[in-house]
Chain A
Amino acid sequence: MRLLRPSPRPSRVAAAWIGFVCLARIGAAQPADAPSRGDAHRLVWHGHIEDSDFYVTRAKSAGDVNRLPQPFSHEHSIKVDFEYVQETAPDGSVSWPRRRISWSIEGTQGDDTFTESCHGGGSLDLGSSRKDQDLTAEQRQAMQASCEFKKLATAFRPYGHLPSRPPLPRLPGLSEFDESCAYREEHGTERTSIWLTPDVEAVVEMDTKPGTAYARFVPEPGKFVELTVKTVPPFPARFRFVIDRDHTSAFPGYAGNAWIDKWFFKRYHLEHLADEYKDSSPDLIFDKLNFQGRGWSTVTQEVVETSEPLSSATARVSAMDYGAIGKVRVYFQCQCGARSSSGGQTAWTPARIVVGGNAREAVSIPLDEDNNLMADALEDYKGDPGRDDDDTPAGDGTRGDGLTAFEEYRGFLVEGFACQDPMSDEHIRTTPRHKHLFVYASAGPMEPNDHSDPDWTEAWDLWNERTDTDLEQYVEDFFAWGADLSVIPVCKRHLQDVDTVIAKVQHWTASDEYLPVPPESRVVNFTIGGRELWAGPIQFEGQTVHRGPQHGVVIGYDNLKPRIAHGLAIPTEPGTSMGSPKRTAIVLIARDFSRSVELLATIHEMGHAVGIPHHSDSRKDWKAVAGALDVTPGLSPLQAAGLPLSSQENAPGPSEKLDALVIEPCGICREGDPGTVYRKGRFAGCRVGWIVRRGQQESGDTGCPMAYFFADVYEPPGVRATWRWRDVVTDAPNLRPDPSSQREHWWNVDAWGGELLRWESEFTDVMNYQARFCSSTAGTHENAGTGERNLAGDAGRSEPCRNFIVVNDNAETDPK
């Protein structure tokens, strides 16, 4: 670290030299209103010092040799900028009327015996003085970094200390300057550059009053903000505008679910950038279309420079991402003297930035005075960009929808007029207060395109993107209303890798418990981490912008496989996985039922996709926990043996699957009634398919889409169906079962007894009554009837459906 040391030359001699070399030349080009203070000459010394070092070596032994196994690491980074104004009076005396310095200093070092860290930074107006190096004790103290030394062991190892103060400017003698009034040096890890300019400053003033273009600016690809810089007082200078890459976003893609592709350039009329703008490019650029003509000498996406000295210049900064956020720095360059024959020039000096009357180091685009990476123009997006605390609907208490406020601000491309036409895609910013769910409703043929067949052209790809308008309506209008979620229809391209899901589901059968799709498939916020799809969190400027992948839901008609149910929400994992959308590989809805049934099945299965179990079941540790459940031929052996329904044990007998259930003779089953069966020639009861039990699938709010409506026979209040026997029955007393014949007249059955009753369901058209997920477990309609006219009673669990809804795929990592 360099310490303050005296200038090698007397300052009076130096001043005379400056006056001759620089000011005399400046005077020739000086306009009438250039700075003039009597006959005094003013010159500005600008400087930049940078020193950074890093190494890891072996810790020192007692003999001061680096040979121990413990590592010793050292790291420091120092930056200093200064601006000293030198005034030479007519009598040749020199003073320093203005001195400013800013610095940052960071350092850490240590081994297993100690750690030391230093941190500091700031800026000081050093005021005027007779000598450039004069500092008060207070000023020296202010530059002292805050250092902490921790002793971890008693051993002492001789290391040097970290730099705890920035190196102070050492102004070289003028003979050390080159003909362009610049001085540069590098010693070890430290670089210093000093250059001289006339006493002129450049200023960029950004008006932030409501209604001004800057205050209203919200980034969209192709939209721009204008920055104007002026020299004060007016003086010829060249200007340079720089996108500060270190503080400017370069989020891959241009929205949460849209990569830079040919449609991007077409949609935003940016075709002229198609060969040069990439996913990795900065989100703010200088669009060359805005810098045509002779006024600009250097034009790149990151830097533009004016070609000739002017007293002002205006540059347009274009956004290329809906979440673009960054800093633009502006510099000016006055010739120290007349331009030298070698074209020499001074270094670029930062312009003074004033934003809404306040000094800033750079211009933030968009205006972001609260430094939350989001445009101040949008009131919805105040506060922490990394928060994900959408609180409606409350659901299971998990806040958020898996999207940070920044991701909701950056927004998503969604289906426009038609998915076959990418140009019709629309961009939306979603509110960070309400939970959203993205749904792709495939119209089929649900055939993936692996592009191995040349006949699958892009047009075919796009045709394959089309969505099913019925399913979309069911989901967007009815499911969304029922769940109080904001459901956003998207195209296949708006979710990650839907093709793989569709490819895999072609081979799925009803005997498969789940569909193992890649975890990255179906993700909607897939661009921000790049092609690698980071798990998160991802930060920018020290603030979280992404917490993890959030999945949408893929839904389609099951038109390729035998009908197995009204609908299915196929989980991604074995077991009874249930929770946020990442746990549902795909929702399949059976065709050929009535629209009402399709609608209800859609809402019901979508309910599963957001974590809602049946009224009989609850959910724990992201798995559905089954209740007692209605008695069905499939479950009867377990229910008969009293085994839990999740049991992996084989229930005792039968060797074959049961064909049906029988209820023993009772008030609703007399010989001759529908379904009459015989066992060994004697009347044994009536064949049924389903016994509704109290508090199970049909229970609770009958208007809730999660309630079943398969009423056949049921347990009235106070009655409990009990298993009686298992045998073969026939539909005629004198018929003998013939294993070689089809089971049209004999069946393997379980018989259940009890005073069961028959129920005639009054299923109404849900298109009219618009089901909402229940907010109470209490029975309604037929489940609220009095006496024995009560079908299934209250739901058999403690929470209603609305209290299970969860959209946030980060629910496990983000506590409620």
Chain B
Amino acid sequence: MKTRSLAPAVGPGPLGSWDDFKAGSPVVLEEDGGYRLWYRGCHFLGADYGCGVGQATSKDGVAWQKGEAPVFVPADPFEREHLDAIAVARGKDGYVLWYSVSSAAQAGRHRATIRAARSKDGRSWVPAGAVVYEAVSQGWPLRPVALWRDGRYHLWLVDSRSAIDPKTRLFPEMPSDGDDALLHFVSEDGMKLTPAGSTPTRAVGMGREALWVGPEPSGGFRALFYEQTPSGSARPGVAVLRSADGSNWERAPAEAMPLPVSDLNHSGPPGISLSALPAKAGLFAWFGVRSRRGSEAIRVAFRKEAT
């Protein structure tokens, strides 16, 4: 990826504020000639740890104005403490926010879940209540990504296809292409998900990285994820997948965008989230990156592409 501009976009708030430790899991939508960003923010001080969803706006995608307060905070303390990743899409009747809540065996919650909230304006959110999706795998995170296209929501996430049989208490035989798959769901309302198809993650050389999916003007979808330690001689950077129907994905190695971790100022463990939007003459990408101490910030990159 040819980095033309790279700057911190949204960082943690001042100590004592609701997002004083983390600002990550970005989702950016283009609106009214500018950009809106939703992100997961987390407060951490002493024994207090809790997260919510914040919002920021920008005219150019680089300089952002954060809102003072979170736009959504789960009512359940457990969900606040285990809020993991978010996805946002704008549909015909407003916005839907999906947020994943990670598991914690000590609290009796053995599987990550995805819950949802609705909003007319993207600021005032009303929780939908029920769990939209419960992970098959136990103890592993879910990182949803979503968009609205052709009159319905599309939602993707990586999860295991191999559930433990409750009778035998055994996994099924492992499929030759591994347990995990990139699952594709469609939904009229964003709440009731209908499986549309899947692609084994091993087939496209990805793990459980956070994904971004965008629609292609010519039809089909493009997915991006950051590979911090790619296989072979490939360099760290943004990997590209393509799909005509959203369910069957193929790797597009020629489109990979090398981007050193150091360029992102990322010094923490693997796990970079991202959101992207095509822009005039290129591609904007916002990365949720971690510092050595585990705090998170969102950084922006721009890739100049041939028109």
Contacts and interface: CB of A to CB of B under 8 A. Distances in A.
Contacts of B77: 245
A182 interface: yes
Interface string A345-389: 101110000000000000000000000000000000000000000
A120 interface: no
Interface in A154-195: 178, 180, 182, 184-188, 191, 193, 195
Interface in B1-51: 14-16, 21, 44-49
A50 interface: yes
Interface in A15-74: 46, 48, 50, 52-58, 67-71, 73-74
B16 A344 contact: yes
B106 interface: yes
A55 B208 CA distance: 14
Interface in A56-115: 56-58, 67-71, 73-75, 77, 81, 106
Contacts of A195: 45-46
Contact of B106 (A52, A69, A81, A191): A52
A342 interface: yes
Interface residues of B, number: 32
A184 B295 contact: yes
Interface string B120-152: 000000000000000001111000000000000
B280 interface: no
Given A54-B110, A188-B269, A348 B138 contact: no
Interface string B73-88: 0000100000000000
Interface size band for A: 35 or more
A319 B106 CA distance: 28
Contact of B105 (A58, A69, A75): A75
A220 B105 CA distance: 35
Nearest to A58: B171
Contacts of B295: 184, 186
Interface string B147-176: 000000000000000001000011111100
A81 B46 CA distance: 10
B56 interface: no
Given A54-B105, A55-B139, A343-B16, A193 B46 contact: yes
B79 to A, nearest CB: 13
Given A50-B47, A70-B171, A71-B169, A185 B293 contact: yes
Contact of A77 (B14, B106, B164): B106
Contacts of B169: 71
A55 B48 contact: no
A186 B294 CA distance: 4
Contacts of A188: 269
Given A67-B174, A69-B170, A347-B48, A187 B269 contact: yes
Given A69-B170, A185-B293, A343-B14, A52 B269 contact: no
B104 interface: yes
B96 to A, nearest CB: 25
A184 B44 contact: yes
B170 A71 contact: yes
B138 A193 contact: no
B103 interface: yes
Contacts of B46: 46, 48, 193, 195, 347-349
Interface of A: 46, 48, 50, 52-58, 67-71, 73-75, 77, 81, 106, 178, 180, 182, 184-188, 191, 193, 195, 245, 342-345, 347-349
Interface of B: 14-16, 21, 44-49, 77, 103-106, 110, 137-140, 164, 169-174, 179, 269, 293-295
12 contacts: A52-B104, A54-B104, A68-B171, A69-B171, A71-B169, A77-B106, A106-B106, A184-B295, A186-B44, A193-B46, A193-B47, A342-B14
Report, nearest first, the 5 A-B pairs whose CB atoms are least far apart.
A186-B294, A347-B46, A55-B139, A54-B105, A56-B138
Given A54-B139, A193-B44, 5 more contacts: A54-B104, A55-B138, A55-B140, A184-B45, A186-B293
